[in-house]
Chains A and B, each alone.
Chain A
Amino acid sequence: MAKLDGAFGDFQGRMGNMVFYKLNGKTVGRTIGKVETFTENQKEVHERTSLISPLLNPLMDFIRIGFKNTPKPWGWDFYSVATSLNKPGAIKGKYPDLEVDYEKLILSKGDIAPPKNPKVQLNGNSLQFSWDPDTDANHADTRDQVMLVAYFPETTKAVFLTSGARRTEGLDQLNLPSFNEDTIIETYMSFIADDRKDVSNSVYVGQLTWKGNPS
Chain B
Amino acid sequence: MATYRKGILGGYSGTAGPATGTRWRGKDVLKGRSNKKIEKEDLQPQNFKLTVMSKFLGHFSALIRIGFHHKNKKETPYNRAMKYNLEHAITDKAPDYEINYRKILFSKGNREPAWSAKAVLEQENQITISWEIPETAKIKLIGNDLARIVIYNETREDSRFSATAIRSDLSVAVTIPTVFVGNKFHLWMFFVSPDGKSVSNSDYIGQV
Contact = CB atoms under 8 A, between A and B. Distances in A.
A93 B115 CA distance: 32
Task: Give the size range of B's interface with the partner.
Answer: 10 to 19
A111 B15 CA distance: 70
B135 interface: yes
B23 to A, nearest CB: 26
A181 to B, nearest CB: 10
B110 interface: yes
Contacts of A175: 134-136
A84 interface: no
A167 to B, nearest CB: 20
A57 B134 CA distance: 18
Contacts of B133: 177
B116 interface: yes
A177 B134 CA distance: 5
A179 B115 CA distance: 8
B110 A178 contact: no
Given A159-B136, A175-B134, A180 B116 contact: yes
Contacts of A157: 113, 115
A174 B116 CA distance: 16
Nearest to B203: A155
Interface in A157-191: 157, 159-161, 174-180
B28 to A, nearest CB: 23
B132 A57 contact: no
Contacts of A161: 136
Given A60-B110, A174-B136, A180-B118, 6 more contacts: A157-B115, A160-B136, A175-B136, A177-B132, A178-B116, A178-B132
A145 B132 CA distance: 27
A140 to B, nearest CB: 25
Interface of A: 57, 60, 157, 159-161, 174-180, 215
A179 B116 contact: yes
A159 B112 CA distance: 10
A176 B118 contact: no
Nearest to B137: A159
A160 B133 CA distance: 13
A175 B206 CA distance: 24
B135 A57 contact: no
A175 B136 CA distance: 8
Given A159-B134, A159-B136, A177 B116 contact: yes
A177 to B, nearest CB: 4
A104 to B, nearest CB: 24
B116 A57 contact: no
Contacts of B116: 177-180
A193 to B, nearest CB: 20
B83 to A, nearest CB: 15
Interface string B192-205: 00000000000000
A115 B116 CA distance: 31
A215 B135 CA distance: 23
Contacts of B118: 180, 215
A60 B113 CA distance: 14
A176 B134 CA distance: 6
A179 B110 CA distance: 21
B178 to A, nearest CB: 27
21 contacts: A57-B110, A60-B110, A157-B115, A159-B134, A159-B136, A160-B136, A161-B136, A174-B136, A175-B135, A175-B136, A176-B134, A177-B115, A177-B116, A177-B132, A177-B133, A177-B134, A178-B116, A178-B132, A180-B116, A180-B118, A180-B206
